[in-house]
Structure 1
Amino acid sequence: MYIRIYQRKYHLIEITTKFTCALALIYICLPHRFASHYNYLSLKQIENALVSQVTHNITLQHLDECSYGDILAENRYMYRAQYREEILRSEEILSGGEYYPEKCRARFSTAIIVPYRQREEQLHSFLIYMHNYLRHQRIHYRIFLIEQYDQKPFNRAKLFNIGSNIAAEYGFPCLIFSDVDLLPLNLGSLYVCTQLPRHMCSALDMWRFNLPYTGLFGGVVSIRTEQFRVVNGMSNLYEGWGGEDDDFYERLQARNIDICRFSPELSEFTMLRHKPEEKNENRVALLRAGVLRHKMDGLNSLMYDEKERRIHNLKSDIGYDLSKVQNQENLKYPDDSKQLNCVHRLDLFDC
């Protein structure tokens, strides 16, 4: 009797263990089953939302316009070894990491801005894959590597601000801010601008293809140059990891500028392995006061020294020293009464 009961308990434990292991295996191997839901543009809405703007040199081409509907509809999986290991048809890429299709006239000109410091392995992988990937999208693009030379904590947002100014020198109407360790998996994630700023990597493998929260606006984002200037760019004060993306989102909200996303299937990205950046211990305090600084902290308060510009086959590399002092004490806030009135208003810039 005792032996039978013991055997039953043993079998129950064995079954429970196997069932738990099976669930864990499903969770590990099939993360898409658990993907969160969020509002996104349908294929028809995407085509209507795309902003057709190009640089002057592209307008001079006498070719039929390129089409993009088939790229979105097929959404071909691209993250294959053939695209990751070597650059195919490298002769198509112009000096400075620029490309435009020759068989049709691109409808979009995009500056891809990548903040960088001492990530050689990730940069190598990024450049190879992205040039192979982007040329299949039939767009005009140029990759700008904005490199921080000094040894202060990495200031990602400030490098984006600088990159936007450089891109404006070349007349690019569309900006894509991309971390060097994020790569798109499928071709349907068009590297172009939409009417609203777009969060492009909403289905990231590191998050098990979930969107952690709807206000997330970092990693890889697209925004029109004119919109970026309207919100005074990003904050220059976030040194180290964290906070700058949320601050940027709040800037957009303060200007009543919403964001959009494509479907999870069109927004799948992978993250390359890397050593995490040092966290910004002041990020929470900076974020809490961010709404009061938007007008004074950004493109109009940039301080930096440009060290050199190098034009490579695969990229335009611009190096900067950001060690000039730039802190909250340098910013003049409105008087207290106006601060209190502005904190809870969306028309902050009219305060």
Structure 2
Amino acid sequence: MMPRKTLPVMRSVNRTFLKELETKWGILPGGRWAPPSCNSKHFVAIVVPYRDRSEHLDLFLQHMHPFLQRQMLQYGVFVVEQSDRHAFNRAKLFNIGFTEALARDSYCCFVFHDVDLLPIDARNLYRCERFPRHLSSAVDVFRFVLPYPDLFGGAVAVRADQFRELNGFSNEFFGWGGEDDDLQRRIRARDMSIVRWPSSVSRYTMLAHAKAEPSAQRQELLGNAESRHDMDGLNNLRYQVLALEERPLYTKILVDVDPPPVPAGKSVPGLVDVQSMRGRHTASDSGVV
């Protein structure tokens, strides 16, 4: 493995550099990029769940685009924003990002990534291989030590076919905590292994943020996790796309994660209900407004 290459982390937003990223780095609308001089072996979607973290998002974008381009990846950045009044549902936003990204292109690798985590070693490769990979196993706020052996959160890389086999994340975790442990149990139940780079490589810094509201039901949900895996996830996903915009550095997908029931015979623009559709929707179904 090549010698450690520690990357600089900007702790304040540099508007001039963000504008340079938009105009001089070859990034296409929607936050898409491909190496100009070769065909990348890896086609990666970066999916970021989001609400009310505008400064973190700017810091994430100004750090991640140069980081990803160093690795000569073909990639796209999808920021899935929860608009509604409900407690934050990070896992469901990941499921939505997966579904919406595949409705637009044939991504084979997905990195599910918190907006407040930034990789600080250039050797941390954002790609998918044989097994799901926990990318962020050494975070500065945890003194670069894995908090517990089964942790599979923060930033993880999963092949598209594996994520389908897992039925994605659970849709039931409103509030902080539990959804990563649920996904880890899905992985183990499918006899998949979780792999990590050495802790000297998988190093991250976490941006300061207020403590999130915990999920009141997380322990109960984890207690019956195995019984829900086949019926709670991608195959019962229901949400409404309120707006979709290809911004210069990312694709913004604004969603209601828990839209109200629709009366019989009515249609709602942007509503995605997997159970009622009997098949995956296409990009034209996404209700761009």
Match of 1:155 in 2: 89
Please provide the CA RMSD for this pair: 1.7
Match of 2:49 in 1: 115
> Alignment partner for residue 113 of structure 2, among 173, 178, 181?
178
Return the alpha-carbon distance in structure 2 between the equivalents of residues 222 and 83 of structure 1.
27
Spell out, residue by residue over 1:6-58, the C-alpha distance to the aligned partner (whole angstroms, 9 max, x if none).
xxxxxxxxxxxxxxxxxxxxxxxxxxxxxxxxxxxxx5xxxxxxxxxxxxxxx
Match of 1:98 in 2: 32
Q: Which runs of 5+ in 2 are unaligned?
A: 262-289
Match of 1:194 in 2: 129
Deviation of residue 263 (structure 1)?
0.7
Judge conservation of contact 2:13–2:55 (CA < 8 Å) in 1. no
Match of 2:234 in 1: 299
What does residue range 124-273 of structure 1 map to in structure 2 within 5 Å? Answer: 124-169=58-103, 170-273=105-208
Deviation of residue 232 (structure 1)?
0.5
Deviation of residue 132 (structure 1)?
1.8
Query: Which deviates more, 221-230 or 302-311?
Result: 302-311
Deviation of residue 308 (structure 1)?
1.0
1:189 partner amino acid: N
Q: 1:296 to 1:89 in 2, by over 3 A?
A: closer
Return the alpha-carbon distance in structure 2 between the equivalents of residues 281 and 80 of structure 1.
35
Return the alpha-carbon distance in structure 1 between the equivalents of residues 50 and 139 of structure 2.
21
Return the alpha-carbon distance in structure 1 between the equivalents of residues 253 and 46 of structure 2.
13
1:254 partner amino acid: A
Match of 2:7 in 1: 78
Match of 1:29 in 2: none
1:120 partner amino acid: S
1:315 partner amino acid: Y
Deviation of residue 323 (structure 1)?
2.5
Query: Which deviates more, 77-86 or 258-267?
Result: 77-86
**Residue 283 (structure 1) aligned with residue 218 (structure 2):** yes
Match of 1:54 in 2: none
Return the alpha-carbon distance in structure 2 between the equivalents of residues 82 and 215 of structure 1.
30
1:146 partner amino acid: V
Greater helix content: 1
1:172 partner amino acid: Y
1:178 partner amino acid: H
Return the alpha-carbon distance in structure 2 between the equivalents of residues 213 and 299 of structure 1.
27
Return the alpha-carbon distance in structure 2 between the equivalents of residues 260 and 98 of structure 1.
27
Deviation of residue 80 (structure 1)?
4.2
Judge conservation of contact 1:126–1:181 (CA < 8 Å) in 2. yes
Aligned to 1:304, what secondary structure does the other structure show? strand
Deviation of residue 75 (structure 1)?
3.8
Q: Percent identity?
A: 42
Deviation of residue 233 (structure 1)?
0.5
Aligned to 1:211, what secondary structure does the other structure show? coil
Return the alpha-carbon distance in structure 1 between the equivalents of residues 209 and 11 of structure 2.
23
Q: Which runs of 5+ in 1 are unaligned?
A: 1-42, 44-72, 327-351
Q: Which has the larger radius of gyration?
A: 1
Aligned to 1:264, what secondary structure does the other structure show? coil
Aligned to 1:242, what secondary structure does the other structure show? coil
Judge conservation of contact 1:150–1:321 (CA < 8 Å) in 2. yes
Deviation of residue 79 (structure 1)?
2.1
TM-score after normalising by structure 1: 0.70
Deviation of residue 81 (structure 1)?
4.3
TM-score after normalising by structure 2: 0.85
Q: 1:84 to 1:258 in 2, by over 3 A?
A: farther
Return the alpha-carbon distance in structure 2 between the equivalents of residues 155 and 89 of structure 1.
30
Deviation of residue 266 (structure 1)?
1.2
Judge conservation of contact 1:95–1:312 (CA < 8 Å) in 2. yes
Aligned to 1:266, what secondary structure does the other structure show? coil
Return the alpha-carbon distance in structure 2 between the equivalents of residues 174 and 255 of structure 1.
18
Return the alpha-carbon distance in structure 1 between the equivalents of residues 77 and 187 of structure 2.
25
Greater strand content: 2
Return the alpha-carbon distance in structure 2 between the equivalents of residues 276 and 304 of structure 1.
26
2:5 partner amino acid: R
Judge conservation of contact 2:49–2:80 (CA < 8 Å) in 1. yes
